[in-house]
């Protein structure tokens, strides 16, 4: 099986799936590439201080180059690579011609997803990520309905990647 690339929105259950499967999966977390950040995923100001509000984040001018290099590298050693759901990343995946899957949400479960992100146990700045998701939800859901991905899977209330991964793998292996 060639490496399957899955572009999944925050809160979809990537980490939980990795921790509970026999599949060799890597989560190429874009936080380490999209904005200046430290090894724990904390966003940093230009001076190296930890960001406390999403508006303080500093974009990485080499985001797409650095991130795509990471994806290509990780796809050599893994069965599945999770990647960001940023539109720029999805556009590059389409241009690459590689098979990939977009995992989004049904538009009606915004509150559930935002709560998932705020309450998950991780070292990431969950409150900032949850604020970004809440602020951009409607635009992201509108985009997901029409985005030309090879396959788009919409998670329903209570669903996570672990609930749909076999369906995705079956599609990939066709």
**Distance (Å, whole) CA 12 – CA 9:** 6
Which tens digit of pLDDT belongs to each residue from 56-77? 889 988 899 999 999 999 999 9
- Residue found by looking up tokens 């399957």 in the block: 4
Q: What is the DSSP letter of 104?
A: E
**Domain formed by 4-173, architecture:** 3-Layer(aba) Sandwich (3.40)
Which tens digit of pLDDT belongs to each residue from 83-94? 999 999 999 999
Q: Which helix (H) or strand (E) holds 160?
A: none
CA neighbor of 11 nearest in space, from 145, 112, 152, 139 = 112
Domain ranges of the chain: 4-173
């Amino acid at each position: 099986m060639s490496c399957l690339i899955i572009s999944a929105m925050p809160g979809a259950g990537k980490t939980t799936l990795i921790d509970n499967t026999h599949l060799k999966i890597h989560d190429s977390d874009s936080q380490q590439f999209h904005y200046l950040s430290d090894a724990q995923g904390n966003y940093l100001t230009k001076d190296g201080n930890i960001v406390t509000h999403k508006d303080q984040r500093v974009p990485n001018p080499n985001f797409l180059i650095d991130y795509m290099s990471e994806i290509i590298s990780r796809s050599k050693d893994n069965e599945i690579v999770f990647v960001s759901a940023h539109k720029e990343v999805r556009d590059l995946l389409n241009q690459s011609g590689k098979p990939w899957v977009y995992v989004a949400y049904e538009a009606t479960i915004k509150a559930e997803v935002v709560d998932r992100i705020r309450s998950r146990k991780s070292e990431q700045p969950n409150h900032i990520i949850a604020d970004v998701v809440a602020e951009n939800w409607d635009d992201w859901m509108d985009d997901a309905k029409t985005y030309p991905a090879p396959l788009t899977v919409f998670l329903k209330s209570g669903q996570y990647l672990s609930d749909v991964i076999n369906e995705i793998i079956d599609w990939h292996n066709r």
